[in-house]
Structure 1
Amino acid sequence: MCANLDREHARLLLDIAHLYWDKDLSQDEIAERLGYSRSTVSRKLTEARRVGIVQVTVAHPIERLMALEEELTSAFGLKQARVTEVSRPFVPGVTPDVARAAAELLVEHCGPRSVIAVSNGRAVAAVVHQMPERTWPTSTVVAMIGSAGESYDLGDGGDVCRNLAMRLGGRYRSLTVPLVFDSLNLARAVRQEDQVATTLELAARSDVALTGIGAVGESTSPLLRKWMTPQVVRECRRRGAVAHVCGHHLDTEGRHVPTALCERTLCMEPERLKEIPFVVGVAAGEEKVTAIRAALRGGYLSALVTDEVTARAVLEAAVG
C-alpha cells in the first residue's frame, strides 16, 4: 500500500508517526510543532496505520506459554497445565519458576479443609518450598509413599508432609516405614497395619495430590537407586519401563509395569491415583520427556507443570 504514496506524503506520515509512537508526543503537541490542526494529525495517524507505515502488534511471552498450555490440555485430556519460561534450575530439572507455578496451582485447588496427598522427591520438595503460607488448621497433608530414608537429599516423604503442613498451618500423616522392604512377607504384614492402611486409604481419598515424575533410563532415580539391583534394572528394561510415578514403573503407553519391587514397595496403588479429583504432576528437563508423556498417556495426572522446552518436546513426541 505504501507504494501508492508519493515520497513527500510518505515522509509526512512517517514524521507524524515517529513523533507520536516513538517520541511519545501528544496529537496537540505534534499539531503545534508541524503547524497542523489536531484533527489533521489524527487523520494522518489513522492513514499511517491504514497504509501499513504503522503496524501495531499486541504480544507478550505469556501468550506463547498459554498456547502451549492449551495444546497440552487438549492433547492429553488434562484439566489444566502450567508452562513457564526456561530458567536456571535450583534442583536438577526443576526451576524456581516451575516449582512456584506448581505451588500456585496447588493452592488454587486447595482450601482450609482439604486433604492433600503428596509423593516425595526433589521436585515435590521444591514445590513445597515455594508454597505460600496459609492458616488452615483443619487441612491435612498425607503421604502416598513410604520413606526412602535419605531426607537430607531427596525431600523424603516425612519431611515433605511435615513441611507442607507447616506452610498450611494444618495437620499431616506420614508413612514412617520404608519405601521398599527386603522381605515380601514383611511388606505385606506392614501394609496391613492399621495406621499404614488408614494412611494409604486417606491418601487415595484425598482432594488433591502432588507428585513428581521419575525417568527410567541410563541413570536411576535417587528415590529407588539403592533398591535397583542389576536384576531389577534388567527386568525394567525387558518390560519397557520408562517412568515411575509414586513408586510404580510405567511403560511408554502409561501402563503399569509389574517388577520384583512392586509387592515389596509400600505406596498407594497406581489405579487409586486416578481416583483423586486433581493430581498435579511436576517435572521438567530433556531426560523427563518420555517419562512425562507416559504418565500423561496413562491418565495419572489431571494437571502438568513444566517449562517451555519440555512442553514442546512432549507435544512433539505426542505428534510423532
Structure 2
Amino acid sequence: MAQRHKPHARHVPTERQPTRFSPSQLYEAARLYWNEDATQAEIAEALGTSRPTVSRLLAEAREAGIVHIEIRKPSATGLSALARELTRCLGIRSVRITPPGKGLPAGRVLAGAVGEALRDAGLGRGDALLVSSGSTVHGVSQEALPNLPGVLVAPTVGGQNEIDSSYQTNEITRRVAVKIGGTPVLLHAPALPGPELREWLIKDPQVRQVLRLWKTAKCALLGVGAPPLTRTSLPSVLPTDPVTLRNAVGDICVRPYDSQGTPIPFPGSDRLIAMDLAALTKIQHTIAIAIGENKITSIRAAARAGYFNTLVTDVDTANALLGSCPEPD
C-alpha cells in the first residue's frame, strides 16, 4: 500500500485582527503592572474585569508598542566594582553580588553565586560543610549546586521538631548533600531539648559526630535572619516577647545578636544544641547568604563580629549596605 503523506501546512498571510481593547485600557493595565507593581488580581479588581482579561491586556500592550521590554546582560565590571567597595566597607574577605531577581525566590537568585563561593572554598573528599537553617538556605538547597563528591554535610543546629520546612535542618542538610554529591551527617535532636534530654543527647555517638564536625569544618553556609521581632516566621525555640529580643538585630544558627554582634541570651539558650557564634569565627570559609533591606543591620553586625567572611547577596541589598557605610575620614 502506498504511504500517504500529510500535506504540508502553507503559511497564508493574514491581516492582524483589530484589538477589542481601547488604547486607554491597554495603557492603564500596563501602567499598574509595570510601574505600580500591582498583581494581575489587583489590576482585575481595579479595572472591574477578570485575571485572564488582564493577561490579554498586558500581552496586547506589548504587541501594540505601549510597553517596551529590554533585557540587558548585567555588567560584570559594575558588579565587581560594587563587590570590591562593599568588601572594604564590611571588612570581610569577599562579596559576591547577583543581579536583582524580581519575583524570584531568594534561593534561586543566589544559588549560582553560592555555588561559586563553595568552589572557591576548595572543599575536598572528607572535608565538612556545615549548613544552617532559614528560608534562604532552604531555598538554595533546592537549586543546582557544584559537584563536591565526598564532602560531609552537617547542620549547625538541631531542628527535627520544627514544623516550618525552613527550619528543618536535617532536611536542608540532606538536600544540600544530594545536590553536591556529598554525604549527609544528620543531627537527630531538637534545637532546644529539656535539661535531662540534652545531657543524654550530647553523649549519643551520632550527635557527638556532628559536634566534632563543628570543630573541624572547613566551610559553613549561613542564613542571616532579619530582626526577630519584625518577622512572621521564626524557629520555634526563639522567644517572641518584645522584652527579651528588643535589642536583637538578627540571628544566625538560632542565636540572636545585637547591633555590635554580641550574642543575646534568652531563657533556655544555655541548652541550645546549636553552634556558638564564636565558633563560627574559627571556620576557614564562612559564607553568609542574605537578601533584603530589612537585613542591612543584621548583616553589618554579623560582619563586624566576624561571624562570616564571605557574603552572597543581590545588587539591591549590596547598594543598600554600601549606602549604610560610614563616610571615610
In the superposition, the TM-score normalised over structure 1's length comes to 0.72
Cα 1:230–1:166 shift into 2, 3 Å: closer
Distance 1:229 1:207 in 2: 31
Asked if the contact 2:221/2:288 (under 8 Å) is kept, the reply is: yes
Asked if the contact 2:159/2:167 (under 8 Å) is kept, the reply is: no
5 Å matches for 1:83-98?
83-91=97-105, 94=106, 96-98=108-110
Structure 2 residue 224 is matched with structure 1 residue 210: no
Structure having the higher Rg: 1
Q: What SS does the aligned partner of 2:142 have? A: helix
Cα 1:95–1:209 shift into 2, 3 Å: closer
5 Å matches for 1:125-274?
125-132=138-145, 134=147, 136=149, 138-147=150-159, 149-150=161-162, 153-154=165-166, 156-181=168-193, 183-220=194-231, 222-224=233-235, 226-231=236-241, 233-237=242-246, 240-274=247-281
The code of the aligned residue for 2:94 comes to Q
Alignment correspondent of 2:95:
81
The code of the aligned residue for 1:129 comes to Q
- Give the C-alpha shift of residue 188 in structure 1: 4.3
Structure 2 unmatched runs, 5+? 1-72
Alignment correspondent of 2:303:
296
Alignment correspondent of 2:39:
none
Distance 2:74 2:148 in 1: 35
The code of the aligned residue for 1:295 comes to A
- Give the C-alpha shift of residue 111 in structure 1: 3.1
Asked if the contact 1:83/1:311 (under 8 Å) is kept, the reply is: yes
Residues 188-239 of structure 1 deviation map (CA, whole Å, 9 limit, x = unaligned)? 4423434323312212311111010001254336342x334444x42111xx
Alignment correspondent of 1:115:
128
- Give the C-alpha shift of residue 299 in structure 1: 0.7
- Give the C-alpha shift of residue 268 in structure 1: 1.1
Distance 2:240 2:219 in 1: 36
Q: What SS does the aligned partner of 1:271 have? A: helix
Q: 2:137 aligns with which of 98, 121, 124?
A: 124
Asked if the contact 1:87/1:95 (under 8 Å) is kept, the reply is: no
Q: What SS does the aligned partner of 2:141 have? A: helix
Asked if the contact 1:206/1:276 (under 8 Å) is kept, the reply is: yes
The code of the aligned residue for 2:212 comes to E
The code of the aligned residue for 1:203 comes to W
Asked if the contact 2:123/2:218 (under 8 Å) is kept, the reply is: no
Alignment correspondent of 2:18:
none
Would you say how many aligned residue pairs link Structure 1 and Structure 2?
254
Q: What SS does the aligned partner of 1:249 have? A: strand
Cα 1:76–1:294 shift into 2, 3 Å: same
Asked if the contact 1:121/1:154 (under 8 Å) is kept, the reply is: yes
Q: What SS does the aligned partner of 2:174 have? A: helix
Q: What SS does the aligned partner of 2:96 have? A: strand
5 Å matches for 1:297-316?
297-316=304-323
Distance 2:240 2:159 in 1: 22
Cα 1:228–1:139 shift into 2, 3 Å: closer
Distance 1:108 1:100 in 2: 13
- Give the C-alpha shift of residue 75 in structure 1: 1.9
Kindly indicate which of the two structures has a greater share of residues assigned to helix.
1
In the superposition, the TM-score normalised over structure 2's length comes to 0.70
Residues 27-83 of structure 1 deviation map (CA, whole Å, 9 limit, x = unaligned)? xxxxxxxxxxxxxxxxxxxxxxxxxxxxxxxx9622221112111211222211101
- Give the C-alpha shift of residue 110 in structure 1: 3.5
Cα 1:95–1:190 shift into 2, 3 Å: closer
Structure 1 unmatched runs, 5+? 1-58
- Mean alpha-carbon deviation: is it higher for 244-253 or for 154-163? 154-163
- Give the C-alpha shift of residue 187 in structure 1: 3.0
Distance 2:90 2:263 in 1: 18
Structure 2 residue 293 is matched with structure 1 residue 286: yes
